[in-house]
């Protein structure tokens, strides 16, 4: 049977009407919803799934943020004579640095740009009409010395423990006293035992930039 043009047109109208009816029966509970195909990049995006990390999480994961132990130098300009001398500071465990005129500013967890802004806000307008702070970071490093095969200053490029640091320095020498591994941080020293750490890895302390590890010598007499 051959369909006439008018018959085909009537059939198309009926199909379109059915589609419109079915679409009208669905009401999206979220009027701002944006349809995406499953498995697409948009479907997996943190903004769509609601799993975007918080600013605090991003700060903890990014190596561009300042951390405790980092050595920073802050210089001041645009202040009246005699001005303020540059300050070289290791960020303490608490993350708060103390500057001239007893000004305290949170440094850990911030970028250098954020810290520059916060230092300025701490001084202006309370103490000065104007002030510009410039923050420079030194390359992150730690030190391994004593009875290791390659005593040296090593660059800190990520999470590091005492035993891993010793391995990075070539491992123990034959004269190493593995029961007396000294970890010095901000003038405070703790003693760690290699044998106990092997039994319980949780005892292997994390180190931070500026830490010094010193493996003592074993005496046989």
Question: Could you tell me the residue ranges of all domains in the chain?
Answer: 56-137, 141-217
Query: 186-197 pLDDT, tens per residue?
Result: 889 999 999 999
Task: Identify the pLDDT of residue 140.
Answer: 87
Q: Which residues contact 75 (CB under 8 A, 6 or more apart)?
A: 86, 133, 134, 136
Q: Are 133 and 74 in contact (CB under 8 A)?
A: yes
Query: 111-170 pLDDT, tens per residue?
Result: 999 999 999 999 999 999 999 999 999 888 999 999 999 999 998 888 899 999 999 999
Which strand (E) or helix (H) includes residue 213?
A: strand 212-217
Give the whole-angstrom CA distance, residue 142 versus residue 168: 11
Structure-token match 């990520």, residue found: 158
DSSP string, 70-84: -EEEEEEES--TT--
Whole-number percent of the chain with pLDDT over 70? 71
38 confidence band (pLDDT: 50, 70, 90): very low
Q: In the chain, at which residue ranges do the beta strands (DSSP E only) sit?
A: 71-77, 87-90, 96-99, 103-106, 132-137, 141-146, 152-155, 160-161, 176-185, 188-192, 206-207, 212-217
Task: Identify the pLDDT of residue 200.
Answer: 96
Q: Is the pLDDT of residue 41 over 70?
A: no
Q: Which fold has domain 141-217?
A: Outer membrane lipoprotein wza fold like (3.10.560)
The structure's pTM equals 0.53
Report which of 157, 72, 81, 144 is spatially closest to residue 115, judged by C-alpha positions.
72
Task: Identify the pLDDT of residue 139.
Answer: 85
DSSP SS3 for 141: strand
Structure-token match 């979220």, residue found: 30
Query: 198-218 pLDDT, tens per residue?
Result: 999 999 999 988 899 999 998
Give the whole-angstrom CA distance, residue 30 versus residue 62: 34
Q: In the numeric block, which tokens belong to residue 33?
A: 């919803």
Answer whether the bond into residue 125 is a cis peptide, omega within 30°.
yes
Q: Are 137 and 116 in contact (CB under 8 A)?
A: no
User: What is the domain class of 56-137 according to CATH?
Assistant: alpha beta
């Amino acid at each position: 049977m051959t369909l006439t043009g008018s018959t085909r047109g009537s059939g198309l109208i009926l199909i379109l009407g059915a589609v419109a009816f079915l679409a009208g029966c669905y009401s999206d509970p979220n009027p701002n919803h944006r349809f995406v195909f499953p498995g697409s990049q948009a479907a997996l995006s943190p903004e769509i799934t609601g799993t975007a990390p918080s600013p605090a999480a991003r700060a903890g994961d990014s190596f561009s943020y300042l951390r405790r132990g980092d050595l920073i130098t802050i210089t001041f300009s645009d202040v009246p004579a005699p001005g303020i001398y540059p300050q070289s500071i290791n960020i303490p465990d608490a993350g708060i640095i103390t500057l001239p005129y007893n000004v305290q500013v949170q440094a850990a967890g911030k970028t250098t740009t954020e810290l520059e802004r916060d230092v300025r806000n701490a001084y202006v307008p309370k103490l000065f009409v104007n002030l510009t702070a410039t923050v420079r970071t030194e390359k992150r490093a730690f030190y391994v010395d004593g009875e290791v095969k390659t005593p040296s200053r090593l660059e800190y490029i990520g999470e590091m423990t005492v035993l891993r640091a010793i391995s990075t320095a070539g491992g123990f020498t034959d004269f190493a006293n593995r029961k007396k591994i000294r970890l010095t941080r901000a003038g405070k020293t703790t003693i760690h035992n290699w044998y106990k750490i092997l039994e319980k890895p949780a005892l292997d302390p994390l180190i931070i930039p500026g830490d010094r590890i010193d493996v003592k010598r074993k005496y046989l007499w």
